[in-house]
C-alpha cells in the first residue's frame, strides 16, 4: 500500500437514496504532505492517469485495511 496506517482516513456514510434504496458514500482523506511522496502536491493544477488501474486485489486489500483500522 502506498500509505502507512494513520496516513489515510476513510469514512463511510450510508442512507436511503431518492428511490428508497440504500446507498453508501466513501470519504477518503490524505494529508498533502503524505501525497508528496507519490509526486503529488497541493499546488498541482490537475492530474491525469499515466498507468493502468491497480489490480482488483489491491482495492480489496485497501477496503479490508480501512475496516480494520476503525
The full 3-state SS of 30-67, as one line of letters, equals ECHHHHHHHCCCCCCCCCCCCCCCCCHHHHHHHHHHHH
Task: Residue 14: give the domain boundaries.
Answer: 8-42+52-68
| 3-class state of residue 68 by DSSP | helix
Condensed to tens digits (0 to 9), the pLDDT of residues 15-31 reads 998 899 999 989 888 88
Q: Which residue has the cell 470519504?
A: 27
Q: Does residue 33 contact residue 26 with C-beta atoms inside 8 Å?
A: no
Work out the mean pLDDT of the chain and round it to a whole number: 83
Q: What's the total number of domains in the chain?
A: 1
Whether residue 14 is contained in a domain is answered as yes
Q: Which residues of the chain have pLDDT under 50?
A: none
User: How many residues comprise the chain?
Assistant: 70
Whether residue 35 is contained in a domain is answered as yes
Whether residue 1 is contained in a domain is answered as no
Whether residue 30 is contained in a domain is answered as yes
Whether residue 26 is contained in a domain is answered as yes
Distance CA 46, CA 43 (A): 9
Amino acid at each position: 500500500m502506498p500509505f502507512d496506517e494513520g496516513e489515510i482516513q476513510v469514512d463511510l456514510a450510508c442512507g436511503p437514496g431518492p428511490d428508497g434504496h440504500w446507498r453508501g458514500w466513501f470519504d477518503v482523506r490524505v494529508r498533502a504532505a503524505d501525497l508528496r511522496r507519490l509526486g503529488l502536491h497541493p499546488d498541482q493544477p490537475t492530474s491525469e492517469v499515466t498507468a493502468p488501474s491497480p489490480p482488483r486485489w489491491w482495492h480489496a486489500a485497501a477496503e479490508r485495511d480501512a475496516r480494520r483500522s476503525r
